[in-house]
Structure 1
Amino acid sequence: MTDSSKPDALKNDRFLRALRREPTDTTPIWVMRQAGRYLPEYRATRERAGNFMALAQNPQLACEVTLQPLERFDLDAAILFSDILTIPDAMGLGLSFAQGEGPQFARPVRSKADIDRLGVPDMEGELRYVMDAVRLIRQELHGRVPLIGFSGSPWTLACYMVEGQGSRDFATLKAMCWNEPALAHTLLDTLARSVATYLIAQASAGAQTLMVFDTWGGLLGPASFREFSLRYMAQVVDLLKADAHSRELPIILFSKGAHRQLAALADTGCTGLGVDWTIDLQDAREAVGGRVALQGNLDPSVLRANPEVIRREARAVLDSYGNHPGHVFNLGHGITPEVDPEHVKVLVDEVHAYGRQLRAASR
């Protein structure tokens, strides 16, 4: 553990050590969407804010909900409460969240003129509320655990921007990739530069790890994935490594449904890869050859099972990775709203307890 005698020194650096593939006393754990609707205190704060966007754009309330799960559970990292669509919103596309229908953009981008109008947003202008939230959260954490900053991937942002809303297949962007590939590449390049600038600003504000969520990368076939998703995540990683504020920070890439691309993702130079539940962690570890840490990969629906099943499945994930450095326990995707918070506590406690058992057994 890091020296905790300094006011802002990390008291728990287990998560960062695991990302560096260093030994840890047990397996660290945090949970995607750990601040969210399954928590009654989150629902109360959101009601006070009025709606999701008002909550996300209020640094004080964003800080409040970021810290809420840390008060309940012995988590090893905090993640900024925000949304993956902040960048396109700052580009003036008119983001809103319809009740029960997910995100919608009033002005989707479909033409060359639409895309030519886009530029990298001002991080201390339109997106200042995000940076203010990062600064405040980092201050309020007092070194308790590291803070994760994040963004959607260029491909995932483009999916929503072109479609104008959520979709099962985002066929409008796929059609652009087939029919007007140069136009798609122009959009993705603008987004890669925007994502990198956004993450660098979060690093400057105090984020200690940076994560890219490629939620819809798994919709692409192998060649299209390399051309339209992987290429631009690699560009983001290169830009982060070239900047003084972010070059030393761990970078996690999570491309849901793209586990056949793990070796190629590891080639980007990232620090860690998120893994969904459709691959065994032993196979994932072999695919990347120990070059990067792995984060995952419990099926989120397990948290709806009874506590003994949760414990059993948590142990199975830990056993599948084995007693090797470089594992951060997480779900294979975000926690769902109907989960009982007590089940999350069961999971967190079991991961720490069984992780310690694995290490003790190997001595």
Structure 2
Amino acid sequence: MIPVALSPAHPLHDGRTAQSPLVRALRAGTTGERPEITPVWFMRQAGRSLPEYRAAREGVSMLDSCLRPDLASEITLQPVRRHGVDAAIFFSDIVVPLRLAGVEVDIAPGVGPVMGQAYRTPDDVARLVEAELTTEALAPITEAVGLTVDALGCTPLIGFAGAPFTLAAYLVEGRPSRDHLAARALLRSDPETWQRLVDWAADLAGTFLRAQVLAGASAAQLFDSWAGSLSHADYADGAAGASTRALTHVADLDVPVVHFGTGTEHLLPAMRDAVVAAGVRDVVVGVDYRTPLDEAVQLLGGTVPVQGNIDPALLAAPWDVLEAHVRDVLRRGGVAPGHVANLGHGVPPDTDPAVLTRVVELVHSVSAESAAASGVEVR
């Protein structure tokens, strides 16, 4: 049953996406029904690997591109047109909610998100958490989602937000970091200030996700870029509860939720549990390229669908090497209740777009081969 919180015109409500391969795969953990075709999309599929993306963004900054509804929609649609992927991922950045809430942040070319200041003291955090993400501030996002959903038809859109730990880590460090020493130090040395910060980040991320779902996204992904830097104990104490808090903002909407992080093999069950604790029914765990999918499925108890985990480095390998790898990923993903083929991280910017298109065709053809062998008609 579709919750009344979703508009009758929502793609999950009016039938456009409810039976799509992506949504069926994401819901397979509760329905027990895998789609005949393994759906495939790529993290960072809309981006620098596409010449049309570079042309569209010429002279426009990254954050401005995210906040111009017509441009954000066009960029989101580009890889669907070119590659024939089974889902669009909303073109955004994890720091967009910060910008919309009035935080001074920019994306420096070749560096990444850079804050106007680092937030490391109780006073810093107390001033920061006064900022709110209003409906008016979210208007460019909801407009862009609406434009995109109208153009996608039966292809689902995935809403996207950075997880609270990752947002908080950027705020504490002030810029990208390899080891997040300052964030981890704050988490342990001043847990009260850390909790205040990460709870605020959770509500920011959750509000951002909810706006996208209400505007038409058929699934949501919470991306914890830096969770892999945490020990299991630190994740439990300083991150898991905040991810749960963020996802309570969409739990009543009954959309499937994918939770993904990098370097998180030791955290996979805890990441699953963080989503379950929010009351989300259809839970999916993204797996990076470091962990074979069948091993990840075993770690997760064989109960939830998985997403992943083609190694992005192999997109530059000879086709026979990449093909064998993709087939192996699909074979290993076959032991999960459901599988969404994807990369184990984002598309490298120097990737040949033709290779991505060929991977999509391969994933679909392998699905057709499997269905034909079992006598199932592929729809």
TM-score bin (small chain): over 0.9
Q: Is the 8 A contact 1:311 1:346 kept in 2?
A: no
Q: Give 1:127's aligned amino acid.
A: L
Q: Which moved more, 1:38-47 or 1:324-333?
A: 324-333
Structure 1: how far apart are the matches of 2:368 and 2:138? Answer: 41
Alignment match, 2:261: 255
1:120 Cα deviation after fit: 5.8
Give the deviation of 1:122 after TM superposition. Answer: 2.8
8 Å contact kept, 1:275–1:294: yes
Q: Counterpart in 2 of 1:157?
A: 167
Deviations 1:99-146 (A, max 9, x none): 2222111133122122122246334222321121111111121x2310
Say if 2:118 is the partner of 1:111.
Answer: no
Check the 8 A contact 1:120/1:193 in 2, yes or no. Answer: no
Residue among 54, 57, 69 paired with 1:46: 57
Tell me, yes or no, if the aligned pair for 1:24 and 1:325 is still in contact at 8 Å: no
Number of corresponding residues: 353
Look up the match of 1:92.
102
Over 3 Å counting, the alpha-carbon distance change for 1:51 and 1:239 in structure 2 is closer
Q: Report deviation, 1:362.
A: 4.0
- Which consecutive residues of structure 2, in runs of 5 or more, have no partner in the other structure? 1-10
Structure 1 residue runs without a partner (length 5+): none
CA distance in 2, matches of 1:308, 1:351: 14
Work out whether residues 40 and 87 of structure 2, in 8 Å CA contact, stay in contact via their aligned partners in 1.
yes
Equivalent position SS for 2:57:
helix
Equivalent in the alignment of 1:147? 157
Structural mapping, 1:210-359, within 5 Å: 210-241=220-251, 243=252, 246=253, 248-268=254-274, 269=276, 270=280, 271-322=283-334, 325-359=337-371
* RMSD (Å) for aligned C-alpha atoms: 1.9
Distance 1:179 1:311 in 2: 48
Q: Determine if contact 1:152/1:213 at 8 Å carries over to the other structure.
A: yes
**1:297 partner SS:** strand
User: SS of the residue aligned with 1:210?
Assistant: strand
The secondary structure found in structure 2 opposite 1:27 is coil
8 Å Cα contact 2:294-2:335 kept in structure 1: no
Code of the residue aligned with 1:137 in structure 2: it is T
In structure 1, distance between residues paired with 2:364 and 2:67: 34
* 1:171 partnered with 2:181: yes
Letter paired with 1:15: L
Q: Secondary structure at the match of 2:310?
A: coil
TM-score, scaled relative to structure 1: 0.92
AA aligned opposite 1:9: R
CA-CA distance at 1:260 after TM superposition: 1.9
Q: Structure 1 residue 330: deviation in Å?
A: 0.4
- Of all paired residues, the percent bearing the same amino acid is 38
SS at structure 2 position matched to 1:296: strand
Q: Which amino acid aligns with 1:28?
A: P
